[in-house]
Structure 1
Amino acid sequence: MKFLHTFQLYDFLDTLVSLFTAFVFGTLIGAERQYRQRSAGLRTNVLVSVGAAAFVDLGNHLTGTDGSVRVVAYVVSGIGFLGAGAIMKEGMNVRGLNTAATLWASAAVGACAGADLVAQSAAVTVFVLAGNTLLRPLVNAIDRIPLNVHSSEASYEIVVTTDGLRAAEIREALDERLEAAKYPVRETEVAYRSEDNVEIIATLVPLAVDAAELDRVAADLARMPGVRHATWNVSALE
């Protein structure tokens, strides 16, 4: 058997150390993700870390450093595709970016372990855990800061609810008032919920606006005959 001629105990032990290192550090990262009830939890992060370590270790044993370098490049791009599957877009909201980034980082941990860089693998693990835990209070504090509409570029929508018979008239009036306020419209969508319920949604070109001006535009439209409701919304840019 070819195995009897190619098997070397030292190389095998070296591989075991790499895989064990990737398993332990992947478990640490995955345990934190599992505790947070993320879609990519303990097992996924461990498998990504161990898989990356196995591929890099294989390249290193077959062709040396050059082989492991080439494998690392493929691991990076391959995990990118895996992470893309964890990202979901729901309207203006994007979910799963942190999960995808954590998978990418787990692969980096495994790649370091596969290259016999155990200390570097441990360091990456520490920083990944710090990013997912220690930075959480800072993120929460920043998220609680109100959006400054005077200095921030964001996505603004003006929504007017009317009936089907007056939809064209209201849409024209909406465009006229926004043009008078010097707010360019990126697109205007008319959503027919029913004959008596039509929503006209004007999305502005992302820029800083004066909230009071948009309040006046919405109030002016709300006074028009046939308009049931007029308001505006703001959301941060992606």
Structure 2
Amino acid sequence: MKALSVLVAEDDPTLRDLYGDYLKRLRGFRLQDQVSSGPALFEALKEKAIHLVLLDLFLPGFDALDGLRRARVSHPRIDFIVLSVGTSPDAVRGSLCLGAFDYLIKPFAFSRFKTALEAYRTYHLGLTERREPWRQEELDRLTGTLATPPLAPDLAPPKGLQAKLVGDVTALLQAWDKSLSAAEVGELLGISRSTARRYLEYLVEIDQVSVDYAFREVGRPVKLYRLGGRDGTC
């Protein structure tokens, strides 16, 4: 599994350690560095290969929105999730307008942190791993459905399946827009192949996902899953 490198920019040592522990609980991410000031953050961005910064917007020496604007201009391929207080509506709005992927208001639970990081991974891989030309509807699905809408009540999964994981599998297929095996889905989401297959088969059953087969010279064909029911709709 490709690990995305993360830099934590937070001046509170307790929170720095907490965010590092949170990252260790998530597959697909690697803590690359931790900094406690604006100058140290900019130095790290120049010297290290970073995919994502977990940023306290009010980091000492960072200049809040001015610092984020400077960072986005200087390092346009690095993404930011802001982890800060929500007392300033202008700061929240400004961060999102400057391209922050998400804004988590302190204090927040691990579940909210996990949701933000997993959504970012789906988004990042959907953009950077694609090699085929985009179609508008495909790009719209990736950029417009980062937070997968809840299933309608009549489509609530049966006992033993989690609605959140159903949404994660659906969002992954939306982002990649190609047929994936249960093993590939499991690896990308950090779950077992058998668990991925259970969820994929449920989505097939409710006609949200269709099945193809990749035939090989030796062995059984590989079952592949693609978003869209048997009538071709999503």
TM-score (structure 2 length as normaliser): 0.28
TM-score (structure 1 length as normaliser): 0.28
Which structure has greater helix proportion?
1
Bigger RCO of structures 1 and 2 (CA < 8 A, at least 6 apart): 1
